[in-house]
Structure formats: C-alpha cells, structure tokens
Structure 1
C-alpha cells in the first residue's frame, strides 16, 4: 500500500518556503536523539509533577445552567426556608403491594429526619406514597414510596449520594421494606462518574490496539505501530498533565466527560500524522535515498501540510470559546490544547524517530530501492472522477444522497437525560425505573411551581381550583400541593409562613430532562398566568424551578450558541483553507461539502437513535461538539487531499493531476480516516448515552468524509470547476496544452 505522494528533492527545496522547511527538517534530523529523549522526559515529568486532569461532575452550572430556573429556586428557598426540590430520592417498591405499615414507617421516618432525630448528614425528607388519595395520578396504587431527601449542599455529588445510600442501608433492612435504590440527578451524575472511571482505561487500551492494528496493516509492519505508540503515548501523558495544570492555574472546570474524548482525539490525529510521515519516508526510501536524507525529505514535504492541518483543527475547536455556555467554553480550550500538543509531537518526535529507524520503521518488511516505474493505470473510480460527464453524475448522486440524509436532521431533539443515560444495571437507573412504574416517569425529577402574592396562602379554595386546573394540563401526571402531605406541611413546605406564597410539586408523565418533558413544561409554564386568572387568584408572580426547567434553560442557551459557534467555526476553517490554497473558489465548495457531510451525519444519528432505538433525543452537547470536530477534521483532510492535487497541477493538466494525486492521497487518507474513526467510534464502548452518541456521530461522520466526500465528491467537484478553483491566484491555470502536443507548464 502506498502513501500520499511527496515532492522530489528539488521541489521540496524550491523557493524560500521550501528552503525554510528543508532547513527545519535538517535541524530536526540532526537533533533526533535529543528530541526523543526530551519528549520521554517531558512525558515522565508531566506524569510525576503535574496534577492530573480533574473533571467536574458535581456542579450542574458547569453544564451551562445559568438561567432563571436557578433564580426561581433561590427565591423559593427564601420564601419557604425549606427546600422542596430534592435531587436525590430513596425508592421502595413492591409491585404486589407495599404493606400499610411500611408506607406509614416511610412517612414517620421523613418526619423524624425533618425533626433532626437521626444522626445523619441529611437535612430533610419528604416521603410520597402512591396511595389512592396521596397521589391520584399514579400508575399504580399502594406499591411505591419515593422519599425525597436533602443532603448537605456543601458536599459534592459523590458525598451526597453516599450519605443518602448509607441512610437507606441503615433504615431499610427488612425484606418487606422493598428497598430498590437511590436515584435522582445527583446520584445519576455520581454514577456517571463511577462508570466513566471504570471504563476509561478499557476504552483507551482498546482504542490503542485498534489504531495500532490499522497502522500495522497499512504498512505491513510491526515497527510502524511502535513509532505510533511512542508518539501517541508522549502526547497523551503530556496533554493530560498540562491540562490538569492549566485547569488548576486558571481555575477552569474541565467536564469529566472530556478525558475519553481528549484521548480519542489525540490517538486519532497523532496516528493520522504518523501515517503521512511514514508514507513519505517509505516513498523516499524506495526512491533510493539513504536513511537520513529520506527522513529530511519526508519531513520537509509533510511538515507544512501537517502544521496547517493541525492549526486548522485547533482553531476550529477553539471556536467554542465564543459560546456563552460554560460547558462549551470548557470544551474549547481543552480540545484546542489537545490538538496543538499532538501537532507539536507529530512534527518533532515522529520525524526524529523515523530518522533514527530508517528502513527499520517498516520491519519486518524489507524496503529496497526501486527504479522509476511507469505510472500504474488509474482505477475505474479514479478515471470516473477525472471525467466531466461521470464526475457530474457522481456529484449529483453524492449531493442527493447526503442531502436526503441531512434532511432528517430537522427532527433532531435535545435533552439531558442524566438517569436515562446510565446502564440498566446501575442502582440509580433501576430505582428511577421502579419509581416511574409506581407513579409516572417524571416522579424522579418533579417541577416546582411557586405562586407569590400578598395573602395568597389564605385563599384555600382558589388554590385548590388552581391545583385541579394544573393537574388537568396535558402531560401532567399529578401534583402535590398544600395540605396533601403531613411530613411536608409540618415544615411549611407548601405554604410560606408569611402566607404570601404557595407552591406545588408537579410530576410530568414523560421522562424528565428529555425533549418531551421540556416541551410539556414549556406549554404548562405558558398556561400558568391564565390558570391563575381563571382561579380568581388575582395578580400573582409565578416561578418555575426544577431539573426539567434547568434542562430547558440549558438547551435554550445551547441553541442560541449554535449560530455563534457555527459562524465562527466556518469562518475559521474557510480562512485557513483560503490561506493554504491561495484561492477563494475551492475553499467554498470544499467547506460546503464538509457541511453537507455533517448534515448527513446528524440526520443518520436522528434516524438511528430517535427513530430506530426510540430515544427521546440526543444529549444536548453531543451534536454541537461533534459538529465542530467534524468540520475541523474535514478541513484537515481537505488540506491533505487537495494540497497534493494542487502540487501536481503545477506541472500537469487538471485531469492528469487528479489521476496522479487522487489514488495516492486517497489511500493514505483512507488509512488515516479508519484509524480516526476507530479512535472515536470506540467511545461507544463506555456504557453511557452521551458516549454512544459521540462514538456514532464521530465514527460515522469520519467514514462519510473519507469514503464519500474525500474519495468521490471533492475530486468530482475539482474536475467540474477545473482551473477556476484556484481563482484569483491562477495557480491551476499555468498549464496549457499546445495544439497536437502534450500539456506543458508555462514558464
């Protein structure tokens, strides 16, 4: 298998920039041993002396929640001096029925917690049984008790979860208690962290083995994967150490979900660049150059392309900095730092290793110098993309096919789904499922609605009328309000002591934090003023709080960021393509093809997750993070593929340049793309919803980019547009075909 073409020595050294890059190559090769030892020392030092990258999982605000729902929650606590929203709950359920004594004990236990009769870190509890009168909208009767518990908010998610679990384990010891587990958004986030920690190293090892296998098959070598392993290892250890140090110094919260993505991105891009350098070295060795000169020529040829490609990906990911969401602002610098570290490793350590190893980099294959051979007859596919008629058909088929897939993206729904993203074997997921069967899916994370007005607490009939109207709203499974729960009324949970506020706990009939629940809450919130007016409550202030309200605000903020991030990412990628190709026309259709491929990837994700698997939506941040990465990586491959066509077109006709450059660059890009797709796709091994989605989007997106866009659509577009692609530079218009003669280059 041959790699991407490399210019001859004279080409590499032509002009000022060629001389500059060849000088860089000479220095890198001359310092090869110092560079290798230096990177090994840097990796060891980063591991020993820099703090590890610490992901945050105990702060919902780190996900981007900064809207009115937090203000509503704070105002509610001021009015009632007792929290109503608990993000952790103990679930007891027996589908054959809970004994009345067990239900009564749950109620009394909640009262005792509120009175401080237990030595526990829990500050309060509200037990809710699904009795006939206690919760009329429950799916079952007398089977389930959910006890909302309030842990010390100064504790992190893991500590709060442990406090609730310890209390439940101490109190619910009899089989008749039918204890299922602890659930809620806090235990779910803690469980996500535990699952992530237990799988992250498995995924890293599996991914390394996969990409090394691809490299070994690409070059028929066992030494080439070793070069890749050393390079990737240095990049990973240094990046994780530097990220931890930077996050600590700048007090930046790095999302816990980021480490697997950082490792996958590093593995992918460093492997890509290793494949291109190895391809260049192999070509030079086959041309008969000695070990050091072959390394110099390969380094001089590929370092400019690798550098521009790396900066393109880094700049694209850094575009997330323009977002208002704290989550995306955390993603941006971390991903950009990842790419830049991988780039520095690729342009220094990889050439140094190749200069040391030479032919041994392809062991056990024995590379021998080969005389210049007649160029192989291009494949049928290559000839098809180089002919205008067949190229037009290919463009039409690709655009229609990708466009049809992209059209499905209009149905994309977003949610958070902390609990729903967990494996079914986790306690939080099992408990949530049990609670949903006993009550309704929304019972795990109910919504708090506060009505504030002078003396409203005295209007009992009007409040009851409002509650009945609220309960009758579409999508509302039930609610709890003033006078319905003794344990809650004893602490003034539903009627403020001042009498100027009342509140309800509303349970939706759909899974909380998902798109259906968010839409339902939006309709309910819009109806509140009219419901209050119909109940003759007069002028009241309504406040809405809870996890579903938080999710709604987060997704609204994310959607607002979409246009901002998208425009900046497109502008950055377009600018770098324009600079590299010194053209305006080609970058436009290259970027358009990447956008089309991205749309198709999102559409296929909707078909797979929402239509085929029946999910309520995708995790809110996944489509946006994946989109930025795919756009940037698409420009990365554009630079490799089109850059080689541009080089060949300096001295050939456009058709001949495509016939020469396309097969060779496509083979190298295919190997690199498979390695990158494997690196990202194996994120799906982590049994968490967001990683299944990330693995699918990024893996499928890379494969579409490599096998459809880069292999078919882009070469066909170059054929159709022709030399105009280089406008206004005219770089592709230097070749003219004399009458009756071969194409020749103008001087």
Structure 2
C-alpha cells in the first residue's frame, strides 16, 4: 500500500530492489523511519517502563459512576421525584424491593409480619444506606387485570441514593437476613433497577478475564494463520496488551480531570476496541514488511520502507477513528459524553503504541517476525508461500478486471445497494429500551425475583411510576382525583393504579395525599417490563392522555408530573435520540474532512462516507430484525445503535484510508479502472485479515451473558464484515470504476484515454 503524495513525496524512480513509488529518501516518513530504527531500544524500554508504572505504581481513585453516568441530572423525572419527597417526606416507590411469594397463598400471619418488619425499619434508625421501607401486598385490591390475591408481598426499601449499587444490594440482603429468615416467609429474592445494575456489573467483572483470554486466543489463531508465524501474533498481542493496560490506568486520571467516568459495564467494549484496532495496525505493518522483503535482501532497507510506507497511513487512520469516537463529546447526555473520552483515549493510546512500539519491534526483529521460517528474507517469503500468494494475487486481479467492466460494475453496484437498502428496512421500526433486568440471564436471582413479583402483581410492579398532581386545595376535590385515576387506568399498557380512588388510601394523610392538602400522588403499575421499549412507549402515551383526562375530571389548573424508573428511561431514550443528530453531524463532518484532506477530493469522500453509512444502516437493520421482538417489548438497548454507529463509520473511514489511498496513488499514473485493478488485489488481503480480526474481537463481546453485549457484538461483527467484504470488495471498486476520473473531482485525474497499464500478473 502506497502513501499519497501529501503525506510524503514519492520517488519518481527507485533504486534497484526499491519500488519506484516508495516514499522519497528525504520525505518525513523516511526520516521518521530512520529515527524509529535508530531509537528502537529507547522506545521499547520507555514503553516497558510505562507498563510497569501502570501495573505497580499508585492507582488514582476512580469516580463513582452509578446512576449519574446513565441518567441526565436535569431529567424532569428526577425533578418530579425530588418534589414528591419534599411534599410527602418520602417517595412512593423505590429502586430496590424484597419479593416474597407462594403461589399457593401466603398466610395472613406472614403478610402481617412482613408489614410489621417494614414498619419497624421506619420507627428506628437503620444502618446506612437503608433509610426506610414500605410494604405492599397483593391482598390489597389495586384493580386492573391483577387477579392473584394473598400470594405476594413486595417490600420497597428506600436507600441513600449517594451510596453505590453494590452497597444498596448488600443492605437489602441484610434486611432479608435479619427480618425474613423464617421458612414460611417464602423469600424469592431482591428486585429493582439498582440490584439489576449491580448484577450487570458483577457479571461483567466475572466475564472480563474470559473475554480477554478468548479474544487473545482468537487473535493468535488468526494472525498465525495469516502470516504462518508464531512471532507475528506475539508482536500484535504485546502491543495491544500494553496499550490496554496503559489505557485503563490513564482513563482513571482523565476521568478525574474531566469529572466524568464511563460506565464500568462498558469496559469490555474498550477491550474489544483496543485489542482489535492495535492488532489491525500491526497487521498492516507486518504486511508491509513482508512486501518489502519480497523486493530486497537488504533487511534494514526493507524495515525502513515498511515503516515509512505505513506510518502515515496508520497515523491518519488512527486520527480518523479517534476523531470519530470523539464525536460522542457532542452529546448532551452524560452517558455518551462520558463514553466519548474513554473510547477516544483508547484509540489515541493504541495509535501511539502502533506508530512507535510496533516499528521499534519490527526494527529489532526484522525477518524474525516470520519465524519459524528461515531467516534469509527471500527464503522466509518462500516459506510463507509467496508463489502461491502471487498466484492468488493474479487471480484476484483477473476477477477485478471482470468486476470493473462498466456494464458488470453497474449491475453489481445496483444489486449491492439494493441488498443493503433491503437489509436496512427494519431500522425504521427500531425501538429503544433500557432493560436492566430483562438483559440478565434467566437464572439470575434478580430476574427470578422480578418474575415472581410480576406473577403476583403485574410486570411493572418492579419499577412502578409515580404521578404527582399539584393544585391548591386538592384534598377537597377527591371525586375529581378519583375520576382522573379511573380514566388513566383505562389507558393501554396500564395494569393498575393505586391512589385516591381506593378509599383506604385517603386517610391518614401523607401517603397519597399531602399533609398540606395541595398535592396528591398515584402509583401506576404497567403491564410490561417497566424499562422495556413497549412500557416506555405506553408511558409516553399516558403523558399525552393526561391533559384530556384532567379536563374530563375537572382538575383544571393542576400540574401533573411523572417520576420513577420508566419516566427516567423515557427521558433517557428521548435524550439519546436527540443526541443522535448532534453525534451524527459531528461524526460525519469530522470523518468527511479527514477523507477530503487525505484524498484531496470532494466527491469521492462524500460517496465513500455514504457507502459506510449505508453499510451501517444495513447492520442496524439486521440487528433490529434479530433482536427487537415486538412480543417481548424490550427493544434494543438504548446505547447500542449509537456506540456502533460512531465506531462503524469511523472504522469504515479507516479502511477507506487503507484501501482507496492506494487506488489514489495508482490513479496518479493511470486511468481509474486500471488503478482499481492494480490496487485492490494488493490491499484486499491485508484488509480482509484486519477486518476478520476486528470482527472476531468485537464478536467476543457476545460471550458476556447480557443482552446489550450480544446486540453490540452482533452489530459490530455484521457491520465490519459488510464493510470489508461487501463495501470494500464490491461497492467501492464498482463505484470508482463508473465514476472514473470524476471521482477525484475537483482534482485532475488521469486521462482515461491514456494508454492503459497492464495489471500485474
């Protein structure tokens, strides 16, 4: 692969054994290569020193990143929740609850004891973070389709929100141990969004080492097969592993400086990103070394040319990916704004390792990179099957010749675009959810407790929604409040509502009616997973129904707000969709500008980026088709499409730089079709190997038994493979062929009427 002229002047003619289009001896890339070779041991020792410091040096403290890293602090639902506590002294629903259930029926004594245990918590000081408890038994007629009676008790536990998820879960477990240890209590477990997130973090932590090991083994196997070497995979993994360790150490420092922290659940994404990207860049350097060793017996010259040829390309590619992931900083939601620095830091560290440590190691090892081949360069390449490689290259060139015939190219281009558009169609029906509990494995204790609570009440009981109504003298208009409650209870998606319509709740004051008589609240239980896409849609519809219901009930002038996890999830999904436009615009503009500068063209970058966006849409469409089951109602985890979009568009530009940059250099001297025929077979092997390696790295995310990682792993694998095997192999060559020299507009292209250059045999 050859560097375009803006990144280093090209030799008009080369010395014997040196390609005529190699970077000129006085270019900055050649000077950098010579410095890298001269200082190779200094570079290696320096990186090893940083690694030891990261492993054994003092560890900086990490910021907490529980709810604050997910929910925007200006959320209307949080404001309503705070307002409810100010008016009533305590919330009506919690994020942690203990579930007791016996399908055959709980005795009245067990139900009474459970209520008394909860009241005892409220009457005496508790160990933090537990602040209070509120029992709810299905002996109470809530109305709606909840048919069971006297089978289930749900004790809502109120925790200090400043405490960690793990400490809240442990406090709930301690409550069970101290108060519900009797055999007849039939404790099923603990439910709620806080225990679910604590379980997610635990599962990620337990799966992380397995993920690392399997990813490493997969990379070793792929690189070994690609280069028939045992040293090349060690080189790739050494660089990737060093970048990973240093990134984790630096990320804590950056988090402290910026005051944000990426959610711990997404650490596996950084593993896949770093191992995959650094391995990709190492593959390109090793490919360059193999190509140069095939041309000369001078090892130093081969190493210098390999470093000089690929360092500019790797640098621009890395900057492109880092800038693309940095587009997340444009988000207003704290979740994406905190994820952006972590991903950008990972790419920057990986890039620095790739352009410094990898060249230094190549300079030290030389042809030993291909061990156990014999150390004479040309014989090393003979061992690697160079003749077979050349035969395959000639076959690829003949295939590319047929593909780039104008009529064939037009048909293939139209068919490929049609297939990608069809694959994109399910994207229009994609629904986003949060699904902390639904994402857990079926045998997880929190999910079992949630299922038990759902069976005893309704699916939404694990995270009910609070409706807060405010108006002076509201307690004197109980008939209107009851009518308002009954009207909302008939809305789709509502299983039941507990509020003033149930006479037993009206007195004493302080539960659903405030002591000053100016506020009331209702507890809404939905009939779906309360954090799934369907429930979020139902709550949005309930929002829309409130003005009409209030007018019909005569609650003129009342202010109605919503609190609870479903309301928080609704706001989170809405802010995520709003962030989509900002992130998309920034990511597209950044990637477009870098492609324009690199390719010195306007038309081609726009079309190439369009191809990447089409591939992304197809990937997300297929992900929606596979994972978004309307019957389950959970939808796609809210952050998956956007993290995948930023990564896939950036990585697509990455491969554009690797592949099309080579075509651009050939197009300086020959018609575009001939440039495509010559360049694509030469670059396809490296891009294919890199693409498969990156896809496998991200695909390993699926071993983590949580729904978001299965979704993210799937969309990344599909997206990368579509990009490498469909876009780069079919779409781009056909597009460039049909455009001809117009693709390089406004730069002047080679005259298509000029004498064609024969493709290499």
TM-score > 0.5, shorter chain as reference: yes
TM-score norm. by structure 2 comes to: 0.92
> For residues 477 and 487 of structure 1, what CA distance do their matches in structure 2 show?
18
Q: Of 491, 499, 519, which residue of structure 2 is paired with 1:481?
A: 499
1:435 matches 2:438: no
| Aligned partners of 2:261 and 2:338 also within 8 Å | yes
| 2:407 match | 389
The corresponding residue for 1:737 is: 754
- Which residue matches 2:345? 337
Structure 2 vs 1, CA of residues 64 and 12 (structure 1 numbering), >3 Å: closer, same or farther?
farther
Aligned partners of 2:528 and 2:633 also within 8 Å: no
* Distance (Å, rounded) in 2 between the aligned partners of 1:121 and 1:25: 59
The equivalent position to 2:200 in structure 1, one of 186, 192, 203, is 192
In structure 2, distance between residues paired with 1:48 and 1:40: 12
Q: CA deviation at 1:192?
A: 1.1
Q: Secondary structure at the match of 1:398?
A: helix
SS at match of 1:123: strand
Q: Which residue of 2 aligns with 1:656?
A: 674
Query: Could you say which residue in structure 2 is the equivalent of 1:550?
Result: 568
Aligned partner (choices 598, 601, 613) of residue 616 of structure 2: 598
Q: CA deviation at 1:490?
A: 5.8
Matches within 5 A, 1:357-506: 357-366=365-374, 367-368=377-378, 377-379=394-396, 381-482=399-500, 492-506=510-524
Secondary structure (helix, strand or coil) at the match of 2:517 reads coil
CA contact (8 A) 1:29 1:296 kept: yes
Residue in structure 1 matched with residue 74 of structure 2 by the alignment = 66
Which of 688, 702, 718 aligns to 2:706? It is 688
Deviations along 1:58-100, one digit per CA (max 9) or x if unpaired, are 2245443532111111111111112212111110111222222
Alignment partners' CA distance in 1, 2:506 and 2:235: 65
CA contact (8 A) 1:320 1:565 kept: yes
Q: Retained in 1: the 8 A contact 2:2–2:309? A: no
**For 1:491 and 1:24, how far apart are their aligned partners in 2?**
78
Matched with 2:106 is: 98
SS in structure 1 opposite 2:98?
A: strand
Distance, in Å, in 1 between the alignment partners of 2:203 and 2:658 is 38
Matches of residues 112-131 of structure 1 in structure 2 within 5 Å? 112-116=120-124, 121-131=129-139
Q: Which position in structure 2 is the counterpart of 1:166? A: 174
SS in 1 for 2:664: helix
Contact 1:183 1:432 in 2 (8 A): yes
Query: SS of the counterpart of 1:492?
Result: coil
Unaligned runs of 5+ in 1: none
Structure 1 residue 427 displacement after superposition: 1.8
Counterpart contact for 1:12–1:297, Cα < 8 Å: no
CA change 1:40–1:12 in 2 (3 A) is farther
Q: Which residue of 2 is the match for residue 529 of structure 1?
A: 547
Partners of 2:649 and 2:682 lie apart in 1 by 23
Report the CA distance between 1:470 and its aligned residue: 2.2
Which residues in structure 2 correspond to 1:574-653 (within 5 Å)?
574-611=592-629, 614=632, 616-653=634-671
Within 2, Cα distance between the matches of 1:151 and 1:676? 43
Moved more, 374-383 or 101-110: 374-383
Distance in 2 of aligned mates of 1:466 and 1:612: 30
Aligned in 2, Cα 1:64/1:117: closer, same or farther, shift over 3 Å? closer
For the structure 1 residues 118 and 631, does the alpha-carbon distance in structure 2 shift closer, same or farther, using more than 3 Å as the test?
closer
Give the secondary structure class of the aligned counterpart of 2:468. Answer: strand
Q: Is the CA contact (8 Å cut-off) linking 2:484 and 2:549 kept in structure 1? A: yes
What is the CA distance between 1:578 and its match in structure 2? Answer: 0.7
**Distance in 1 of aligned mates of 2:264 and 2:64:** 5
Of 677-686 and 125-134, the range deviating more from structure 2: 125-134
Larger deviation, residues 222-231 vs 372-381: 372-381
Tell me the SS of whatever aligns to 1:368. helix
Aligned CA distance change for structure 1 residues 121 and 316 (closer, same or farther; 3 Å): closer
Structure 1 pair 537–581 and aligned structure 2 pair: CA distance change class (3 A): closer
How far is the alpha carbon of 1:484 from its aligned partner?
5.1
Distance 2:312 2:671 in 1: 24
Deviation per residue, 1:13-35 (Å, 9 max, x gap): 6569x611100000001111111
Q: What's the offset of the Cα at 1:471?
A: 1.8
Q: Which stretch shows the higher mean deviation, 579-588 or 148-157?
A: 148-157
CA distance in 2, matches of 1:531, 1:503: 15
Deviation at 1:610, TM superposition (A): 1.2
1:24/1:300 contact within 8 Å kept = yes
In structure 1, C-alpha distance between the alignment counterparts of 2:105 and 2:570, rounded to whole Å: 36
Cα 1:340–1:118 shift into 2, 3 Å: closer
What count of residue pairs does the alignment treat as equivalent?
737
CA gap of 1:485–1:163, structure 2 versus 1, over 3 A, is farther
Q: Say if 1:727 and 1:497 are closer, same or farther in 2 by CA, change over 3 A.
A: same
Q: CA deviation at 1:290?
A: 2.3
**Distance across 2 between alignment mates of 1:425 and 1:97:** 24
Report Cα offsets for 1:128-181 as digits up to 9, x if no partner.
Answer: 111263555424222111111112233221111111111012222223211111
Relative to structure 1, the CA distance from residue 216 to residue 5 in structure 2 (aligned partners, 3 Å threshold; closer, same or farther) is farther
**Change in 2 beyond 3 A, CA 1:112/1:453:** same
Contact 2:203/2:705 (<8 A) preserved: yes
In structure 2, the gaps of 5 or more residues are 4-9
Residue 110 (structure 1) shift: 2.2
- Three-state SS of the structure 1 residue aligned to 2:148 is coil
Equivalences for residues 94-243 of structure 1 within 5 A: 94-116=102-124, 121-131=129-139, 133-134=141-142, 137-243=145-251
Given that residues 230 and 372 in structure 2 are in contact (C-alpha distance below 8 angstroms), is that contact kept between their aligned partners in structure 1?
Answer: yes
Q: 1:525 to 1:402 in 2, by over 3 A?
A: same
CA contact (8 A) 1:406 1:604 kept: yes
Q: Which stretch has the larger CA shift, 84-93 or 644-653?
A: 644-653
TM-score (structure 1 length as normaliser): 0.94
In the TM superposition, residue 291 of structure 1 has moved relative to its aligned partner by 2.2
Deviation per CA, 1:304-355, whole angstroms, max 9, x where unpaired? 1111111110111111111111111111121111111111111111111111
- Other-structure match for 1:324: 332
Which among 563, 568, 571 is matched to residue 581 of structure 2? 563
Does the aligned pair in 1 maintain the 2:669–2:750 contact within 8 Å?
Answer: no
Q: Equivalent residue of 1:378, what SS?
A: helix
Q: Is the 8 A contact 1:53 1:240 kept in 2?
A: no
CA distance in 2, matches of 1:151, 1:187: 12
User: Which moves more between the two structures, 118-127 or 554-563?
Assistant: 118-127
Change over 3 Å in CA distance of 1:561–1:21 after alignment to 2: same
Q: Which of 714, 733, 746 in structure 2 is aligned with 1:715? A: 733
Which one is further off, 559-568 or 522-531? 522-531
SS at 2:394 equivalent: coil
Most deviating of 370-379 and 385-394: 370-379
Q: After superposition, what is the alpha-carbon deviation per residue over 1:561-610, rounded to whole angstroms, capped at 9, x for unaligned? A: 11111111111111111111111111111111001000000100010001
* Paired residues of 1:5 and 1:661 also in contact (CA < 8 A): no
Aligned to 2:96: 88
Q: Is the 8 A contact 1:92 1:178 kept in 2?
A: yes
Distance 1:127 1:33 in 2: 68
Provide the residue aligned with 1:702 in structure 2.
720
1:108–1:36 distance in 2 versus 1, CA, 3 Å = same
- Contact (CA 8 Å) 1:5, 1:665: kept in 2 or not? no
Distance in 1 between residues matched to 2:256 and 2:363, nearest whole Å:
37
Shift of 1:465: 2.3
